[in-house]
Amino acid sequence: MLKLIEEMTKSGKPKLDESKCKHFKNLCKASNENVRRSFCFLWSQLEKNHSEVRRSSVQLIDILFMRSAIFRDLLLNNMQEFVELTLGTNHKRSLPLPHSSAWDMKQQTICYLKNWHDTFGKGYRKLDLAVKYLKNCKNINFDDVSNNVHNEAENERLTLIRQAKINATSNELNDIKPEISSCLIEIENCLSLLMPCPEQFDIYNRGDTSKSNQNENHSFDNHDSSSNYDYESDGNDKHEFRRHGLFSDNISLAININVNSQIFIDKTEDNSDILTSFYEKVMLLKQKYLNLLQRYLKVFTKCGASANLFKPALDLKMDIEKVLQKAEKIVVKNDLTKTNDLASDEESNFDDFIEKAPIIPYGIDLYHWGDSEKDLLPLKPSTSQMNWWVTRDEEEQVDKEALTSMKERVINFAGFFEPVKWKCRAPLSNGKLCIRMDRKKCPFHGVIIPRDKMGKPNDPNNCPSTSSTIHQKSESELNGRLAENSWRDPELEADISAAIGIDITFRPKNKGKNKNTKKTGLTDLKSLKYNTPLKRLEKKLFNKAAMKRVASTMDNIDAKRLRDKFGNNFNYA
């Protein structure tokens, strides 16, 4: 019973667990001695310096006060101290932290006292005097508390209704989220097929285009011999500008693109199915999913949902609106034109190039894969001092080393890979052997050594240390500690602690930090003390590094002021 009281008072929840309360009532019904023991332990919990523990203790006290005459006599004999611990009537004994739990405990205690007075006030003189004292001397309004309790109950009922709406709406949102995502992906795929981006085409690796560019360069050189210079050897970008008709690199071009303009698409036999699927998905987003998301956002806003629930719905709504804006710009022409199934020579050559290309890291050899030597022609840099013309002999020189690097690639393979053919074969707890195939060391059994069919090491001296010996040592140490403290009786120690109000129960010392500690739902009072705005400001302002920076800045300001005023004075020089 004492363990049950400790669990309920240290739960940290504003309300007690109903199943545990029912079990506690049955234990107290068994005998009057259990009622007396529960009063002693509840009183020791009521004296704890934690408002959450006191609040739960007051709730248990109310349960026993309404059901047991023995408990009423015990409490009324200590009524003055009970009022000081729960209502804070003595200014020298203020209510402990946290403040919110202390305020709740105070309101609940006033409500309980009013209920006790209305039920048992005529039979208990001490209770009647206590309520009159609180009304007249401490100015406690019992009527106002009853109204507050009613309002709190109504607010709690409305909160439960709002939470139920939020949960139902979030479940619906989670159900339709995959459908909306798949619909958006299908629309994006349709748009990429209808309006492909330039990045999807690798136009710089096509063989025919390089040939045509090379022929254009030759025709340009034959047309004007005076401009015969090496484009590849010269790294200046001015030559590239001149090739495009620009005689200076300082020219700035401004191109205005109308983003809001409409996009016209001709409807053909090839894209008719894509357009049909595209507009079906757009209508589904517009007529169904967008309305649902607007309704969900309205529910979240009214019920005060958290940002974790509100943000996903808002993001989906914004994605749908972006897709609908794209769909509004598309204008489809209904004229079906005949399409030619013949591909151009350039596309066929590009497909052949993709089929021949091996899957290895990209390099200069892959860039010139399939090109002939005439198309490559890596030229040596000119040795002439003149930049505008070269001799006829130097004009046709070819760099053979560069030509070889464009056609071949040298890859060095170091070492020889030896596959792992052995297993760990360490015995397991289920009678089997470890089947891990590591090269040198097993992560569970250490260094791999030769073993026989039963898993025993061939060389007993080469046996690695396993976790079994460590486990045996830990078991022996634990048994020794238990033998040392076998004479103690935990139940007797708990009864004595409840009677005298001092905890004398035995707790074994743990070597590790915070090992085997009981987890409670109570608020950490240390974090409340050291996490106040004043403490946070003190931590930032009185930091040593910050104070050094401020001091150095102030010293620099003073030195500058002194230098400006008295810098020319020989006394301060």
pTM: 0.38
The pLDDT of residue 239:
66
CA distances (Å), origin 514, targets 77, 482, 506? 40, 20, 17
Cβ–Cβ under 8 Å, residues 62 and 86:
no
CATH of domain 2-140: 1.25.40
- CA 490 to centroid of chain Cα atoms: 44
Which contacts of 391-395 are long-range, i.e. CB under 8 A and separated by 24 or more positions?
395/228
The strand pair at 446-447 and 330-333 is best described as unpaired
User: d(Cα 568, Cα 573) in Å, to the nearest integer?
Assistant: 7
Question: Rounded to the nearest 10 degrees, what angle do helices 69-77 and 125-136 cross at?
Answer: 50
Q: Closest by alpha carbon to 59, among 33, 79, 32, 86? A: 86
What is the phi/psi pair of residue 456, to 5°?
Answer: -85, 145
Amino acid type, 420: V
User: d(Cα 231, Cα 224) in Å, to the nearest integer?
Assistant: 15
User: d(Cα 204, Cα 359) in Å, to the nearest integer?
Assistant: 18
Name the β-bridge partners of 330: 263
Cβ–Cβ under 8 Å, residues 33 and 2:
no
User: d(Cα 142, Cα 115) in Å, to the nearest integer?
Assistant: 10
The answer for 425, left when phi > 0, alpha when psi is -120 to 50, beta otherwise, is left
Cβ–Cβ under 8 Å, residues 145 and 110:
yes
The strand pair at 330-333 and 263-266 is best described as parallel
Amino acid type, 61: I
* Ordered per-residue pLDDT tens for the chain, 573 residues: 888 888 888 888 888 888 888 888 888 888 888 899 989 989 998 888 888 889 999 999 999 999 888 999 999 998 888 988 888 888 888 888 888 888 888 888 888 888 888 888 888 888 888 888 888 888 887 776 655 555 666 777 888 888 888 888 889 988 888 899 889 898 888 888 887 776 665 544 544 444 444 444 444 344 444 444 444 444 456 666 666 666 666 667 677 766 556 788 888 888 888 888 888 888 888 888 888 898 988 888 888 888 888 888 889 889 988 888 888 888 887 744 434 444 455 555 555 555 555 555 556 666 666 666 656 555 555 555 555 555 555 545 556 666 676 667 666 656 677 888 888 988 888 888 998 999 888 988 888 988 888 888 888 777 655 444 444 444 555 566 555 566 677 777 777 777 776 666 666 555 444 444 556 778 777 777 777 788 888 888 888 888 999 999 999 999 888 888 877 777 665
Q: How much is the CA Rg of the chain, to the nearest whole Å?
A: 44
The strand pair at 441-442 and 263-266 is best described as unpaired
User: d(Cα 399, Cα 410) in Å, to the nearest integer?
Assistant: 18
User: d(Cα 31, Cα 71) in Å, to the nearest integer?
Assistant: 12
> What ranges do the domains of the chain cover?
2-140, 162-197+262-335, 362-382+393-411, 420-461, 524-567
Cβ–Cβ under 8 Å, residues 430 and 409:
no
Q: What is the DSSP letter of 286?
A: I
CA distances (Å), origin 123, targets 58, 72, 116, 372? 22, 11, 11, 116
Residue 69 neighbours by CB distance under 10 Å: 13
The pLDDT of residue 211:
43
Contacts of residue 203, Cβ cutoff 8 Å, sequence gap at least 6: 209
CA distances (Å), origin 171, targets 199, 308, 309? 40, 13, 10
Q: Closest by alpha carbon to 93, among 59, 47, 125? A: 47
What is the phi/psi pair of residue 446, to 5°?
Answer: 85, -155
Q: Closest by alpha carbon to 4, among 15, 14, 514, 22? A: 22
What is the phi/psi pair of residue 427, to 5°?
Answer: -70, 140
Annotate 30-45 with DSSP letters as a single string: H-HHHHHHHHHHHHHH
In the block, tokens 């003390």 appear at: 529
The pLDDT of residue 226:
42
* Dihedral (CA of 96, 97, 99, 101) sign: negative
In the chain the first and final C-alpha atoms are separated, in Å, by 85
Annotate 150-199 with DSSP letters as a single string: HHHHHHHHHHHHHHHHHHHHHHHHHHHHHHHHHHHHHHHHHHHHHS--GG
